[in-house]
Amino acid sequence: MKTTRRNVILSGAAVGAAMVVPRMAAFAAAPEVKLGVVGVLSGPAAQWGLALRGAVEFVAAEANRDGLIKIDGQPANVSVVAIDSKYTAEGAAAAANSLAGQGVKMILGPIGSPELTGIKPIALRNSMLVMGNGYAKDAIGPQWPLVFHQGPGPSGWADPIIKIAKAKFGMKSVVVVAPNDQGGTDIASVDAQAYKANGIAATEEYYQRGTTNFAPIVTRIMNQKPEAVDLASSPPGDAGIMVKQLRQAGFEGAIGRLGGPGYSEISRVAGGDEVLKDFYWYEPVFIDEKVLKIADDYKTLMKTERPENNLFFQWVSAARMVAKAIAKAGTATDTQKIAAALRSLPVEDPNLGAGGWIGQKFFGVNQELSFPFGVGLVVNGKVQPVQRVDAATET
């Protein structure tokens, strides 16, 4: 076709010349591998997104340092495009679309269930690979072959933690408390089932997201006279207030939080470990010296402190798996091939240790990364060393 000025202007106006230019530039320099990050970077849950973004930026810098990824024999330059998903389904969908428009094929994140629900149709339409989080009951599944789970949900870790807590505190009944939206109900109900499976009577209690003073909820819990309370996926701030107010109300039993990391923030809000008294929680990563080395590496490589939230480590391991899969597949665009490479890779990390792929039983697809994790305990107001638990398996 003859290129007339008119044609150029027309197509330019419709498509946006921006599409063409970077692709041209890429030919001149090293091949480009873009990792997309879709995570909440603003608002109440921003810490999770900041941890995610920091982890992916770190893994990209690592890959560039080591020349890990080669496309057509040439070492590729890995870059990160992070977009705020605002912790909503639309925000995540818009972010995924925007990444698709920039030719990004791999997404790390999102973090919350609503976001993951929002991103999946977009990823399916644009055949993007997603390594996401979100503890929803339908987080991954056979209908989304390119969607992977960066760590198990409560279906993976609730049971071993409950066994440890039961041995320690011997509770026979528990009230599981969580916010009344998807981020709460999907975790609390799985937790409750796991308690029942261990012979502990469990009831669920939901509060409205945005509640600031939990004194009435605490009274309602106290009226049921449980031997333990599980704060499930209540955000750390809310969980901290509830611990404080439960203790003020005279609750003496153990308090758990089987819903995600955040012990240090909960302890800060509650007023210290003496207030926590007897407390057990899920720690997504068992942090030993080996894992902490990531933090040092981060400092040398990125010239700044790592994001505070401990999910950072888990995202580092997940991002490394994706980077390794891209390296193995030798392509940054063919996501089918990358996904196949990812499924075939052994689950191991230089810092976190070895694990496996799980998910077949609960989700119907074996695409959930499972690494060793930790169970945190505070006993009589004293923090115990976090107990290491082997990577969750499905039995």
Taking CB under 8 A as the criterion, which residues in 44-103 touch another protein? Answer: 44-47, 49-50, 53, 81-84, 86-91, 93-95, 97-98, 100-102
Do residues 362 and 346 lie in contact, with contact meaning Cβ atoms separated by under 8 Å? no
Question: Shortest approach of another protein to residue 388 CB, angstroms?
Answer: 25
Question: What string marks each residue from 182 to 221 as x (binds another protein by CB under 8 A) or -?
Answer: x-xxx------------------xxxx-xxxx-xxx-xx-
Question: Shortest approach of another protein to residue 308 CB, angstroms?
Answer: 6
Nearer to another protein, 223 or 395 (CB): 223
Do residues 193 and 152 lie in contact, with contact meaning Cβ atoms separated by under 8 Å? no
Question: Shortest approach of another protein to residue 380 CB, angstroms?
Answer: 18
Among the residue ranges 13-21, 26-34, 64-72, 377-385, the one whose residues contact another protein (CB under 8 A): 13-21
The residue within the footprint of another protein, chosen from 158, 165, 241, 316 (CB under 8 A), is 241
Site for another protein in 131-170 (CB under 8 A): 136-138
Contact between 121 and another protein per CB under 8 A: yes
Contacts of 61 (CB under 8 A, 6+ apart): 301, 302
Nearer to another protein, 3 or 212 (CB): 212
For 24, 32, 33, 395, the CA distances from 29, given in Å and listed in that order, are 10, 8, 12, 49
Nearer to another protein, 91 or 372 (CB): 91
Tell me the residue type at 310.
N
Site for another protein in 331-390 (CB under 8 A): none
Nearer to another protein, 23 or 290 (CB): 23
Site size for another protein, by CB under 8 A?
Answer: 77
| Cα separation, 297 vs 128, whole angstroms | 30
Q: Which two tokens stand for residue 291?
A: 């894992």
Q: Which two tokens stand for residue 89?
A: 């389904």
Question: Shortest approach of another protein to residue 81 CB, angstroms?
Answer: 8
Q: Could you write out the DSSP letters of every residue in 254-314?
A: EEEETT---HHHHHHHHTSHHHH-SEEEEESS---HHHHHHHHHHHHHHSSPPPSSTHHHH
Among candidate residues 55, 257, 239, 259, the one with its CA nearest the CA of residue 153 = 259
Nearer to another protein, 43 or 170 (CB): 43
Question: Shortest approach of another protein to residue 118 CB, angstroms?
Answer: 6
Among the residue ranges 64-72, 148-156, 264-272, 323-331, the one whose residues contact another protein (CB under 8 A): 264-272
Tell me the residue type at 132.
G
Nearer to another protein, 3 or 208 (CB): 208
Nearer to another protein, 215 or 354 (CB): 215
Among the residue ranges 69-77, 163-171, 225-233, 242-250, the one whose residues contact another protein (CB under 8 A): 242-250
Question: What string marks each residue from 278 to 317 as x (binds another protein by CB under 8 A) or -?
Answer: ------------------------------xx--------
| Cα separation, 126 vs 140, whole angstroms | 17
The residue within the footprint of another protein, chosen from 118, 256, 259, 359 (CB under 8 A), is 118
| E-only strand ranges, the chain | 32-39, 70-71, 74-75, 77-84, 106-108, 129-132, 147-149, 173-179, 201-207, 228-230, 254-257, 279-283, 348-349, 353-354, 356-358, 368-370, 373-379, 382-383, 387-389
Do residues 106 and 98 lie in contact, with contact meaning Cβ atoms separated by under 8 Å? no
